[in-house]
Amino acid sequence: MTIPGKRIAILSPVAWRTPPRQYGAWETVASNIAEGLVARGWDVTLFATGDSVTRAHLHAVVERGYEEDSAVDPKVAEYLHISEAFEHAGEFDLIHSHYDFMALSYSRLVKTPVLTTIHGFSSPKIMPVYEKYHDSYFVSISDSDRAPGLNYLATVYNGIDLSLYPMKEPGGGDLIFLGRIHPDKGVHLAIEVARSSGLPLLIAGIIQDRAYFREQVQPHLNQAIRYVGPVDVPGKNALFARARALLHLNTIPERFGLVLAEANAAGVPVIAMDLGSCREVIQDGQTGLLVNNAHEAVQALGCIDKIDPNACRQRVRQCFSIETMVEAYERAYRKIFELEGKL
């Protein structure tokens, strides 16, 4: 559905490289959209860090992500980066922003339409910005993660590159946790499940809340419950190869949960808390099991062998691939061009 002559700017965050080396969900999605659009013939410019890797045109004023280089001031980097994109707005037919509420404050200063993918509302304190710009164009990443009154064009589920996550071999007896080490992600609940079930647990991810790690994770680490640090894609696949199941026992509503799709792509079933988007990403009883607490998660382990790994991967291919995501964004772009009289 490429529209000849249309130029798209993808505004990625600059916390991490695009795509990220390890953690960085927003950068991952921005990268997958940019690469997917280029593969389908679109003229795409990616605004990201200078060390980013892309087949699109790369435009950068910040060399390295502020989470990867302590010499970079986050606010200075963010506003140099965002303003650069909007100062070049006239060169594009659409700016597709993955920069949360901050980029919205520039949107009425340019004639180029702006589409914002909302990757989650981090705090009620940011809502006045969304309310002020409620008539902009928005896409949600799950039906569950929407705010009333915003001009949503669609829900577009995040897509992953299936080629990065090959099917694992049958077997594997470990429980896996992949994500931020933060109370929101329920690492302490994963530990509770491991201790109750007697199964080993491998924990991987960046430590975002050091007090939480020190008080609720570190005291439980031993030969059976191990923290292996942040991991890249090969590191994830090494964990998936050992996995009996991925535990995703989030304590707040999930916005999307890329790791759910990544695990399923490798044929790993997921035991997830039934909060937020987990019910949209995981097909209960088919690609994983939804639970309401750690006790139910322990019970679910007794049924996990009934999940067909091939069904897990097939659902990801149908619903959460780059191709499916990009086709949905193409429909959203066309709708914007029609509303703006640009077709």
**Measured distance CA(115)–CA(150) in Å, rounded:** 12
Q: So what's the pLDDT on residue 68?
A: 94
2 vs 179: which has the higher pLDDT = 179
Q: Could you tell me if 100 and 206 lie in one domain?
A: no
Per-residue pLDDT tens over the stretch 64-78: 999 999 999 999 999
Q: Could you tell me if 73 and 138 lie in one domain?
A: yes
Q: What is the CATH number of the domain that holds 32?
A: 3.40.50.2000
**Measured distance CA(13)–CA(139) in Å, rounded:** 17
Backbone torsions φ then ψ of 176, nearest 5 degrees: -125, 135
Residue 208 structure tokens: 């975002």
Mean pLDDT along residues 263-292: 98
- Which residues lie across from 246 on neighbouring strands? 176, 270
Residue 334 structure tokens: 């066309």
Mean pLDDT along residues 244-249: 98
Give every CB contact of residue 211 below 8 A, 6+ residues apart in sequence: none
Q: Could you tell me if 179 and 199 lie in one domain?
A: yes
pLDDT at 308 over 80: yes
Per-residue pLDDT tens over the stretch 129-175: 999 999 999 999 999 999 999 999 999 999 999 999 999 988 899 99
Q: How many domains does the chain have?
A: 2
**Measured distance CA(222)–CA(98) in Å, rounded:** 39
Q: Could you tell me if 331 and 277 lie in one domain?
A: no
Q: Could you tell me if 244 and 265 lie in one domain?
A: yes
Per-position DSSP letters for 222-270, written without gaps between them: SSSEEEEE---HHHHHHHHHTEEEEEE--SS-BS--HHHHHHHHTT--E
- Which residues lie across from 45 on neighbouring strands? 9, 57
117: in domain: yes
- Which residues lie across from 97 on neighbouring strands? 11, 116
Determine how many CB atoms are found less than 10 A away from the CB of residue 224. 15
Q: Could you tell me if 313 and 325 lie in one domain?
A: no
Q: Could you tell me if 110 and 246 lie in one domain?
A: no
What one-character DSSP code corresponds to residue 66?
T
pLDDT at 1 over 80: no
Determine how many CB atoms are found less than 10 A away from the CB of residue 149. 11
Sign of the torsion angle spanned by Cα atoms 16, 20, 25, 31: positive
203 near 228, Cβ under 8 Å?
A: yes
**Measured distance CA(32)–CA(39) in Å, rounded:** 10
* Of 258, 199, 251, 198, nearest in space to 20 by CA: 258
Q: Could you tell me if 177 and 251 lie in one domain?
A: yes
Q: Could you tell me if 217 and 275 lie in one domain?
A: yes
Mean pLDDT along residues 206-232: 97
Q: Could you tell me if 169 and 141 lie in one domain?
A: no
1: in domain: no
Percent helix, strand, coil in the chain, to 5, is 40, 20, 40
Mean pLDDT along residues 113-134: 95
Q: Could you tell me if 145 and 228 lie in one domain?
A: no
**Full residue range of the structural domain in which residue 195 is found:** 162-319
Q: Could you tell me if 48 and 17 lie in one domain?
A: yes
Could you check whether the bond before residue 19 is cis, i.e. omega within 30 degrees of 0? yes
**Measured distance CA(138)–CA(153) in Å, rounded:** 6
Per-residue pLDDT tens over the stretch 13-63: 999 999 999 888 999 999 999 999 999 999 999 999 999 999 999 999 999
**Measured distance CA(39)–CA(96) in Å, rounded:** 17
**HSE, side-chain direction, 13 A CA sphere, residue 306:** 10
pLDDT at 342 over 90: no
If phi > 0 it is left, if psi is from -120 to 50 it is alpha, else beta; for residue 117 that is beta
Give every CB contact of residue 210 below 8 A, 6+ residues apart in sequence: none
**Measured distance CA(114)–CA(199) in Å, rounded:** 48
- pLDDT above 70 coverage of the chain, percent: 100
